[in-house]
Structure 1
Amino acid sequence: MPFSALGLHTALAQAAQTRGYTAPTPIQAEMLPAVLAGRDVLAQAPTGSGKTAAFALPLLQRVAAQPSERPRRVQALVLVPTRELAAQCGGVLRDFSAACSPRVEVALAFGGVSINPQMMALRGGADIVVATPGRLLDLVRQNALRLDNVQTLVLDEADRLLDLGFADELAQVLALLPAKRQNLLLSATFPGKVQALAKALLDGPVHIRVDAVQEAPAIAQRSIAVDPEKRTQLLRHLVTQEAWSRVLVFVATQYTAEHVAEKLYKAGIFATPFHGGLSQGARRQVLEEFKADRWQVVLTTDLAARGLDISLLPAVVNFDLPRSSADYVHRIGRTARAGEQGVAVSFVVPQSEPHMRLIEKRLGMQLAREVLPGFEPTEAPAQAVAGAGGIKGKRPSKKDKLRAAGLLPPLESGQQPDQSPT
């Protein structure tokens, strides 16, 4: 089915084909007609499914059809949880906007960089703004933009917007928007708080669901048993033996990203860290250089688990296991994109064996533990303990830890401590 059969104008349909969209993906085939018809949409789709283009193309067509004003007034707002996703989403919109006549102006707004250039860019107004909630509110307070003309609101990665603590800021943004508007809510997962947001926000939405299993056959998944202290050596061994041109390695902390990257670099492997502690400019440079094959290994926290599109990435490694099965899916989804093949390797230390088994159970799979010569674990795998460890196990929350350190008042009699997911 061609894009034009979905109601997309010829110029935008040709632009999609020029950029490699030979035919609509499942979410694009369902979402384009709904957005063009002005319907609210509730979409669940995995990473790599083409959801950005699914809302970007019809959004540009609708905005371009409106009478042009000077200065331009914001007609569409796209809220995202991270700077990287804002840059990527804005890049897609700007790329396709060249096919619109008149051209649609797209502005980006995110923190971590000076606000002044963003304010300057908004002096002539903008048709579409892609923003993180905090910086958007900063610009509103500075009178750099108004949101009273927004006709379409897009919440991309809605689950992460709420997970990262943007609920209060999101409520402030919603209060600034016209009550009557089109709402598009996209999320990879639908926990209770996202369902509650959808119920409050959407009016008779079109429900779209694209299952992650469509990508699974392209990803060869492996799990290797190894002692904690041998993981860096094992990573170096795999990078060399498998001859991976590029590999994205997920770790639990910024310190581990820095530490392992330094060890690999000293061993002659071009490796660098990528995490939230770096400046926005440094993070952008790492991504650009990684995409240009200037880095062979990037050590990253879950900052890179969603929203980043790195084409032709042959491998992903879980140096540390993810906190949840959903995070596991997002991590390995960085490889095998756009029909390519890829491999996802997880290092399973003895202490994390119960956690890995629970991830497998949640995803309905079972991976055999490989043992590589020279990297045999010396400890026996830990056994699962009821009520301890694993996904959604019971660990002290941040508040519990602060109470233990004497930085918060103790719990009152009968009050239960907070529990946070593992």
Structure 2
Amino acid sequence: MQRNHSSPEAKGGDGDYIPYVPVKERKKAEFEKYRKRHRPADIVAEENKDIGSEDDAIGPRSKVSLLDQHSELKKKAEAHKVSELDKQKEEEAKILHDIKEASALMSVAELAKGVVYTEPLVTGWNPPRYILEAPESKNNRIRKKWHILVEGDNIPPPIKSFKEMKFPKVVVNSLKKKGIIHPTPIQIQGLPVVLSGRDMIGIAFTGSGKTLVFALPLVMFCLEQEKKLPFGQGEGPYGLMVCPSRELATQTHELVCYLSEELAHEGFPRLKSLLCIGGTAVRGQVEVLKRGLHIVVATPGRLMDLLEKRIMNLEVCRYLVLDEADRMIDLGFEDDIRTIFSFFKSQRQTLLFSATMPKKIQNFAKSALVQPVIVNVGRAGAASLDVIQEVEYVKQEAKIVYLLECLQKTAPPVLIFSEKKAEVDDIHEYLLLKGVEAVSIHGGKDQEERQWAIKEFKSQRKDVLVATDIAGKGLDFPNIQHVINYDMPADIENYVHRIGRTGRCGKTGIATTFVNKLCEESVLRDLKALLIEGNQKVPPFLHQLDALSEDLLDLGG
């Protein structure tokens, strides 16, 4: 039956005419209402702002061409995309800032109480008046000459000789016996900073003399304390140096002992120091602690054990060094370091040193340091320019045989690095079978065996040392001619530390690295960048990396 439009059914309650709307149109209208109701307010405002006259409208009846309409819409989309990206970046920056503040390298008590130290410690040392009164332009010329970059407020002036740094004559002569006549760049700026009592982040090439920058001032500070009031039973330490490995801790302790003995021979008070590392008897360490001491050199594990058992305390400790700080914090020692900080009872002078110091570690450290001075000699993470880097493509099965040929490049001593403990043992056994005087160290060997191997190698009774990266961080071996990377480390920073065992203190050395198709491409790219930065020869297969990537992109596109 045909419906009459004039009938009551076609009228509303008030008698108005209501046209028929198809179901499809009704659903579309409902959808548009829902969409507008749930759109963000900023987008709606932007659209309303953009609505102009009918001539400017966008759509099929617009007087603007479709191409212009497309361009306009594209611009609006890109602008909206950029604004969203900026918001995302702001949110990420806020999160990173919150994380940095929350993970400050401070003790739990300091964080809980909100303790903030604003002024650095004051020491009794001052540079000579003529250096103190020198214009800043002269200081900047010295820094520029030695490629020293500094950051911070009221930076102490660089000093070019140990004598001008006011070290006693016995100290200067002791350094000469070690072949150290003039300060290295990190020492030129670093020693005045530390002697002034300032907190410091020290970044320099491996083999540049960083250990002396923190060990020598500590010895002098301890002498000053001992003269004022001798340390009695159970007192101390005044200074604490924390190292990531037992070998590095042992090496640092040997330097402290050498300086202390030389001073004692000249009539200065005898300083007592202690080496606290795992793998050695605790009983002997406890006896030394009971008698009182000035300096402790330790690894984090053993140090925490002594502190938590109340065998040692840090009540009078005013000097803290974290050597290879990035490695300790980055490899999971962060909680251990924070626990160690909680045992300090008052402000201390804090020094962080390494050859590589990622930005995140610098930010992490700055939160705990008071007006820190950052001393950077060369780019952080760059390889020493005194090392000739040779990269060779060697198939995995040919490595062990080619190793003998590679050893012919230089006279001993030679260091060979490998990632795996089992591989270290295999290389060591192979070299012994071929008549090579070799020793090896890795984390699986006991402490006595590791110390014996290093002693034999340092005294040059053995020609070759095969090791994992345990020997790649901070250890100072005399006159290393050649470093061989049996495999490319997974981290480019480990590569920098490994090859830094040669080319130390101004001497030239060679580093040979074996690579093949098993190496990660990202690490090879970092290696290539490092070679280019150091003006080293880049082998053809590394040059092909970019070409290969471009071909893959072309295929994918």
Relative to the length of structure 1, the TM-score reads 0.83
> Which residue in 2 is equivalent to 1:216?
384
> Which residue in 1 is equivalent to 2:180?
21
> Which residue in 2 is equivalent to 1:32?
191
> Which residue in 2 is equivalent to 1:204?
371
Q: 1:59 aligns with which of 218, 239, 245?
A: 218
Cα separation, 2, equivalents of 1:381 and 1:258: 33
Q: Which structure features the higher share of helix residues? A: 2
Cα separation, 2, equivalents of 1:313 and 1:121: 35
Superposed counterparts of 1:65-144, under 5 Å: 65-66=224-225, 67-71=229-233, 72-100=235-263, 101-144=268-311
2:162/2:182 contact within 8 Å kept: yes
Report the residue type matching 2:176 in the other structure.
Answer: Q
Shift of 1:141: 3.0
> Which residue in 2 is equivalent to 1:166?
333
Cα separation, 1, equivalents of 2:175 and 2:387: 26
1:262/1:272 contact within 8 Å kept: no
> Which residue in 2 is equivalent to 1:407?
none
Superposed counterparts of 1:138-287, under 5 Å: 138-211=305-378, 216-239=384-407, 241-242=408-409, 244-287=411-454
Report the residue type matching 1:69 in the other structure.
Answer: F
Cα separation, 2, equivalents of 1:227 and 1:246: 25
Moved more, 323-332 or 8-17: 8-17
Q: 2:201 aligns with which of 25, 42, 50?
A: 42
Give secondary structure in 1 for the equivalent of 2:342.
helix
2:483/2:511 contact within 8 Å kept: yes
Query: Any idea what the Cα deviations from partners look like across 1:37-85, whole Å, max 9, x if unmatched?
Result: 2111121122111011111111111111012121242111111111111
Cα separation, 1, equivalents of 2:250 and 2:259: 14
> Which residue in 1 is equivalent to 2:51?
none
> Which residue in 2 is equivalent to 1:396?
none
1:248/1:298 contact within 8 Å kept: yes
Report the residue type matching 2:166 in the other structure.
Answer: G
Aligned length: 377
Give secondary structure in 1 for the equivalent of 2:236.
coil
Relative to the length of structure 2, the TM-score reads 0.64
Give secondary structure in 2 for the equivalent of 1:216.
coil
Shift of 1:18: 2.6
- Inter-CA distance 243–74: structure 2 relative to 1 (3 Å threshold): closer
1:221/1:345 contact within 8 Å kept: yes
Cα separation, 2, equivalents of 1:152 and 1:245: 39
- Inter-CA distance 184–368: structure 2 relative to 1 (3 Å threshold): closer
Shift of 1:251: 0.7
Shift of 1:336: 1.5
> Which residue in 1 is equivalent to 2:502?
335
1:83/1:110 contact within 8 Å kept: yes
Query: Any idea what the Cα deviations from partners look like across 1:157-201, whole Å, max 9, x if unmatched?
Result: 100111231111111110001231211111222224422331221
Cα separation, 1, equivalents of 2:326 and 2:222: 26
Cα separation, 2, equivalents of 1:301 and 1:279: 14
Moved more, 27-36 or 207-216: 207-216
Cα separation, 2, equivalents of 1:356 and 1:76: 39
Cα separation, 2, equivalents of 1:86 and 1:217: 27
Shift of 1:318: 0.8
Moved more, 12-21 or 281-290: 12-21
Cα separation, 1, equivalents of 2:275 and 2:306: 11
> Which residue in 1 is equivalent to 2:479?
312
Report the residue type matching 2:250 in the other structure.
Answer: A
RMSD: 2.4
Query: Any idea what the Cα deviations from partners look like across 1:217-248, whole Å, max 9, x if unmatched?
Result: 42221111111000010001222x33532211
Give secondary structure in 1 for the equivalent of 2:213.
helix
Asked which structure has the greater CA Rg, the reply is 2
Cα separation, 1, equivalents of 2:303 and 2:335: 13
2:410/2:481 contact within 8 Å kept: no
Cα separation, 2, equivalents of 1:344 and 1:283: 24
Moved more, 356-365 or 33-42: 356-365
Identity %: 36
Report the residue type matching 2:435 in the other structure.
Answer: G
Give secondary structure in 2 for the equivalent of 1:27.
helix
Report the residue type matching 1:360 in the other structure.
Answer: L
Give secondary structure in 1 for the equivalent of 2:244.
coil
Cα separation, 2, equivalents of 1:351 and 1:310: 30
Identify unmatched segments of 5+ residues in structure 2.
1-159, 551-557
2:237/2:317 contact within 8 Å kept: yes
Cα separation, 1, equivalents of 2:490 and 2:520: 13
Cα separation, 1, equivalents of 2:525 and 2:546: 13
Shift of 1:323: 1.6
Report the residue type matching 1:247 in the other structure.
Answer: V
Cα separation, 2, equivalents of 1:350 and 1:271: 29
Cα separation, 2, equivalents of 1:327 and 1:85: 15
1:222/1:346 contact within 8 Å kept: yes
Cα separation, 1, equivalents of 2:385 and 2:312: 46
Give secondary structure in 2 for the equivalent of 1:238.
helix
